[in-house]
A and B are shown apart, each in its own frame.
Chain A
Amino acid sequence: DVKVTQSSRYLVKRTGEKVFLECVQDMDHENMFWYRQDPGLGLRLIYFSYDVKMKEKGDIPEGYSVSREKKERFSLILESASTNQTSMYLCASSPGGRIPYGYTFGSGTRLTVV
């Protein structure tokens, strides 16, 4: 079974802090994604990556950056956390190519910015 592991289930951070959310997958997937889930807004794509050191902006990249130094690890960085970044953050991975494989998601990180 593909496993996508997010390092923290719950995080509480202060406004202005730099926050790192880590995601690791163990099935050699090329693609990795970061989403946030908010009530009424569904899953919104923040950033994604098709390969090591490669990143693309999603629908809502403002206030975030990402890092993918190794194939199995995709990090989401909140440069200066703000209260409107309080959300559930979901990491996902999928095989590469144009075959419509679904995503495998991690369990999510519930981030609260106070």
Chain B
Amino acid sequence: DQQVKQNSPSLSVQEGRISILNCDYTNSMFDYFLWYKKYPAEGPTFLISISSIKDKNEDGRFTVFLNKSAKHLSLHIVPSQPGDSAVYFCAAFSPNNAGNMLTFGGGTRLMVKP
């Protein structure tokens, strides 16, 4: 049973436009969310995070929005660049975990066309 879901396996966007990647979760105990970016043949790297006490966090071209009532978060990339082409994973943390363990979504492959 997937507690974190990314329902779009892939997304194609034109350079300069907005990319919106979505993530849904089912566990209401999740209280911290992260986005990771992964290029082929490399490990995922941390991109941006948000605490459940906030509804928005911005870092340059990247903004994460959290809608707790809908159990939904999204990552906005504006403007999209070809170098943003990668697989993006959302991840969630629950304070009930016996330790520091994240639950990952299945990933969304973003392709930014020049």
Flag if B89 contacts A100 (CB, 8 Å): no
List A residues 74-114 near B (Cβ within 8 Å).
90, 92, 94-108, 110
| Binary flags per residue of B35-67, CB closer than 8 Å to A gives 1, else 0 | 010100111111001000000000000000000
Instruction: Output the nearest chain B residue to A98 by Cβ-Cβ distance.
Output: B95
A10-53 contact mask (Cβ, 8 Å, vs B): 1 or 0: 00000000000000000000010101010011110100101000
Q: Count the A-B residue pairs with Cβ separation under 8 angstroms: how many?
A: 71
Q: Bound state CA distance, A48 and B103, in angstroms?
A: 13
Separation of A9 and B31 alpha carbons in the complex (Å): 34
Residue A66 CB within 8 A of the other chain = no
Q: Which residues of B contact A95 (CB under 8 A)?
A: 100
Chain A residues lying within 8 Å of B18, measured Cβ to Cβ, are none
Beyond known contacts A42-B106, A42-B107, A100-B49: 10 more, CB 8 A cutoff? A37-B38, A42-B6, A43-B44, A48-B99, A92-B43, A98-B97, A100-B32, A105-B45, A106-B43, A107-B42
What residue in chain B is nearest A97 (Cβ atoms)? Answer: B100
- Can you name 22 A-B pairs with beta carbons within 8 Å? A9-B41, A31-B100, A37-B38, A41-B106, A42-B6, A42-B105, A42-B106, A43-B107, A50-B99, A96-B99, A97-B99, A98-B97, A99-B100, A100-B34, A100-B95, A100-B102, A102-B36, A102-B91, A103-B102, A105-B43, A105-B44, A108-B41
